Chains A and B, each alone.
Chain A
Amino acid sequence: MKKIVEQNQAGMDESLIDYDVLVIGGGIAGDEAALKLADVGYKILIVEKDLSIGGRMILLSKVFPTLDCSACITTPKVSETARHRNISIFTKTEVKSITRRQDNFFDITILKRTRYVLETLCTGCKECEDVCPILIPDEYQYNQVARKAVFIPFSIAQPRIANIDIDNCILCGLCEKKCPSDAIDFTLVDTYEHLVVKSVVLATGFRLFNPTVLSRYGYGRYKNVMTAMEMERQLAPTRPYNSVLRPKDGKMPDNIAYLLCVGSRDQTVGNPICSQICCMYSTKQAQLLLGALPMADVTVYYLHVRAFGKGFCEFYNQALSMGVNYIKAKVASVREKENGNLILRYEDFSTGQVEEQEHDLVVLATGILANAEIESVFKGEKLELDPYEFVRQKDMLTNPAITSISGVFAAGTVTGPMDIPDTILSAGAAAAEATAYLKKLS
């Protein structure tokens, strides 16, 4: 290590550098790390593969344990990020390769996928959406409503710019004619770019477990079995409907069940670890549901309630005192009745008996899985992962931000499940360590 630094102090040519730090992933972790580094004065590039920065958090309803509205906390962070003079953001862009150079900098190749919309011209007026004849499920609302082929992902997206989903577009050209600022251009193409950066922060976040794998819970087969992320959208201020509705018949549910640990703590699906947030987000949603549907009953089927963080236990007590029903049970299966209601079969620990209970909506608290796709981008050096494919923290007990590659740091859920407060702290740690690394280089 020492040797590399010396060599690099000798042969360093600052003029080659496009950015001091490449931040991969523009979720709350990436944004926080970028802001802290940019405040010190470094030039940052955030590469986000999605259409908006803000990650999962910008789509949440309210956040435990304070029930702050998530948008109210995310939007200002996101807009501060977008506006910082030391931060550039490429959305709809992927990092294709990262290679360490002789001089210890990194060569980066990125692929900027086109939106078929000129970003500088689009004003986000949404007129194009009005004329587009195509309707397809809206992935930002977790397919609960439809969107157009030309669309702005959601009202608080950053940037708030249209995008054409070319796979579903029929090239009718209506939007192109309608756009008042001539921002739509079907001749645009994807482009590769090469950049040189000094260091990298990985903030690519997590994936959610796909519950169709556990067919006994009926997700995908029974309409009134949904995931908590879908429920999150129904409860959000930028929600698809103005109320909470059953997917099957649009009826307001009044007896809702939560199943915890779906796809977590489960060797049979290859994921033995606990997802750390699902107990609490379910407890949060239960409280929000009682607020939105005052007559409804909410039952949470749990093994353990992991209310461990600052204010969490108090938050859980609050749910109990509001009347959320917690049953310590192992749920064996879910089956559907003709009217769309669902029968849960479970072993109740308090009685030791197998019981059945009917609910009209079942919400699965699906767990968090690693998003390991970034590993393959590193050429010539190995990015080590832990057994669950999260990025391995090389030195958890003295420096949690460093990875197996020098100059590459990890922020947020890329290293394991965590809630927003922990994500933000870990992003701060990555920023501190990246700053230290850059100081040492120069």
Chain B
Amino acid sequence: MKKRIGVYVCHCGGNISDVVNVSEVVTAVKDMEGVAIAKNTLFACSDAAQNEIVNDITSLHLDALVIASCSPKLHLHTFRAVAERAGLNSYNYVQVNIREQCSWAHSYEKVSATGKAIQLVKSGIERVIFSRAMEPFSIPAEQSVMVLGAGIGGMRSAISLANVGLQVYLLEREFFIGGRTAQWGDLSAAYENGPEVVSRLFKQIREHANIHLFIGAELISQSGNIGSFEVKVKIKPRRISGDCDESGFNQAISICPVEVPDDFNFGLTSRKAIYQHYPSEYPAIPAIDDANCNFCGACESLCKSIDLNQKEEILNLKVGNIIVNTGFDPYEPTRGEFGYNEIERVLTLPQFKRLVDISGAGKLNFKGKQIHTITYIFCVGSRQGEEGENQYCSRYCCTTALNTAIIVKRKFADITNIHCTRGIRTYGKQELIYEESSRQGDIFLEFSFENMPVVEERNGKVFVRIKDILTANREMEAETDLVVLITGMVPRRNNNIAQMLKIPTGRDHFFNEIHAKLRPVETVIDGVLIAGTCQGPKNIMETLNSSMAAAAKSAASLSSGTIHLEPIVADVNTDQCTGCGICLTVCPFDAIVTAGPEDKPAVSIVISRCKGCGMCLPVCPEDAIELYGFTNEEMEGMIDGLTSY
């Protein structure tokens, strides 16, 4: 039982005190039993206030601390550290959320909000009366990290991690590395080319002794905690072992009887079941795609390093952190959306990028016709209004579209670009690309969400009709040789990583960080970090920055060699336990074992396996199990606090 509790009620500059009468709260609790001091403070998290609290704890010999402020998700650790600095065990600190769950949620009801805040603070005090001092468990931290996805982001994460001395297992699900960047040819913002950029990073990966690259590899199961995750990886058979000379491979590819649409070119071209996307692709050997191969054996007879009987491999690894770099998918328009899949001259930007990349300079031809006029329709699959599926802006596309328009004009003769936008968003230095495309004579029209452009085919000709905001909503129609839909980014389909690693997704369905400004690469699962476009649309530079930031975070958390885990675990009262074993059936982590002498059977908890979920608590018929931090005394104390007058 605590006898000298310090209570601090934060104004949060006004975020709380504009609604909740903070001094009323202080008055209401200052005479409660066990409270030694109760105060209000402008910003409890500020340095000055922290120092004041530390001083109070030491000079007034406080034995527990309650701070009523923002959500514990923001500052639990900040204030636990305050307690520690003053020599108070950090588990004798309780944070009461009177901002997110009081002043903000009830901002129109000042009186009720103040009343609620009082009950909440009382409940915090009742809880801390019964709290007990605990020490975090320390476990050794594996000096290794698994990176999922070898796109530009994953490669960057891996190199940065390896450079700070960690071992890296880099897993790529496809048979080739580079992710989307490899597909784009000429890139915006720097005069470089996708495959070149990929090969620059790949070179560093190959030369780095700390990086272990697995291709065609997928995570199939995961267990454990930050510091030591145990992961199981499945490596699909590539069905190629070693090197065959180049002509051998080429012959094998040409003899393969199976022809399928080439995903790399978004179906514009086809490939064989044994394939390689472009000559300098990494790794520089083909792969056989099981889904389409009919195992006729024709290729095997031409090249001895083809091995159709190659088996899949399973790998068990132990890593300290996991960085998820699994990227994005381009938005796939629905059939008929701006004529997509109905009118053959309607392409998406990814398809168009591939077309531009694989076409030789001079004339641009598509489906047997030379292209002169190209009409680009922006924000397809993005900014779908308040009710739409994708409300967000995909960020990369304005810049990339205009950059592509510039390249097209440079590479091919007689091109006119018409951009139908919803307001160009070439933010920052990318504005120069917009300027350049204006300067080269591109035409800019602008439509609103309410008046979407219409694409129509009449007598073999394609027309785009638009109401143009820039000319006082004039309706106009242009005949065009090609329509390019500037499709946005969406989360990767068929990605089971989220479920396996328990990564929450945000309102936009991309993976969600804990806090965009405070903890931008961390997820609620300790030790599982996210970076690059799996977290939201980004261009390459932004992908790299977040990947390196994730690497820096990993380095910082693993470098000391130990990880501290929450000591919140279950505890069995062996006097009450009858050893019935019901709890064993509900524990997801096999953390409960039977123990005790034969005449008095009982269960016990394997601390290292217990994750503190508490699933065993309600099933015990004897109420013999408690969870540290959530004991009956604490929970019922809180309820009493909420209902006391």
Contacts and interface: CB of A to CB of B under 8 A. Distances in A.
Is A in direct contact with B (CB under 8 Å) within the complex?
Answer: yes
Contact of B428 (A317, A328, A351, A417): A417
Interface in A411-436: 416-418, 420-422, 424-429, 431-433, 435-436
B555 A274 contact: no
Given A314-B391, A397-B187, A426 B47 contact: no
Contacts of B550: 428
Contact of A36 (B424, B540, B556): B556
Nearest to A62: B15
Nearest to B471: A352
Interface string B26-56: 0000000000000000110111101000000
A72 B472 contact: no
Interface in B372-410: 382-383, 385-386, 391-393, 395
B392 A314 contact: yes
Contact of B189 (A308, A349, A396): A396
Interface residues of A, number: 80
Contact of B559 (A40, A71, A276, A305): A40
Given A274-B427, A313-B391, A396 B541 contact: yes
Contact of B156 (A66, A311, A398, A431): A398
A328 B555 CA distance: 47
A349 B395 CA distance: 24
A25 B340 CA distance: 51
B559 A274 contact: no
Contact of A433 (B14, B45, B425, B548): B548
Contacts of B25: none
B553 A428 contact: yes
A236 B549 CA distance: 29
Interface string B524-560: 0000000000011100111011101111110111011
Nearest to A317: B386
Contacts of B560: 41
B435 A272 contact: yes
Given A274-B426, A426-B545, A36 B471 contact: no
Contacts of B541: 393, 396-397, 400
Contacts of A80: 78
A417 B429 CA distance: 8
A82 B47 contact: yes
B516 A435 contact: no
Quick one: which of B45, B197, B535 has the most chain A CB within 10 A?
B45
A433 B160 contact: yes
Interface stretch (A107-115, A155-163, A221-229): A155-163
A304 interface: yes
B3 interface: no
B518 A304 contact: no
Contacts of A210: none
Contacts of B472: 349-352
Given A397-B192, A428-B553, A69 B471 contact: no
A440 interface: yes
B587 interface: no
A432 B556 CA distance: 9
B559 A308 contact: no
B508 A75 contact: no
Interface in B336-388: 382-383, 385-386
Given A66-B516, A79-B46, A328-B469, A305 B423 contact: yes
Contact of B386 (A238, A321, A400): A321
Contact of B74 (A72, A237, A273): A72
B544 A78 contact: no
A428 B190 contact: no
Interface in B546-599: 546, 548-553, 555-557, 559-560
Interface in B196-234: 197, 200-201
Contact of B429 (A159, A273, A321, A328): A273
Contacts of A393: 541
B613 interface: no
A77 B163 contact: no
Quick one: which of B187, B393, B469 has the most chain A CB within 10 A?
B393
Given A159-B47, A422-B542, 9 more contacts: A72-B13, A238-B13, A273-B431, A309-B393, A388-B429, A397-B189, A418-B428, A431-B549, A436-B163
Q: Which 10 A-B residue pairings sit nearest by Cβ, starting from the closest?
A: A237-B13, A428-B549, A436-B163, A39-B556, A429-B548, A352-B472, A79-B47, A432-B552, A432-B548, A274-B431
Interface of B: 12-15, 42-43, 45-48, 50, 70, 74-75, 78, 156, 160, 163-165, 187, 189-190, 192, 197, 200-201, 382-383, 385-386, 391-393, 395, 423-432, 435, 469-473, 506-508, 510, 516-518, 520-521, 535-537, 540-542, 544-546, 548-553, 555-557, 559-560
9 contacts: A79-B46, A237-B15, A421-B520, A428-B520, A428-B546, A429-B552, A432-B164, A432-B549, A432-B551
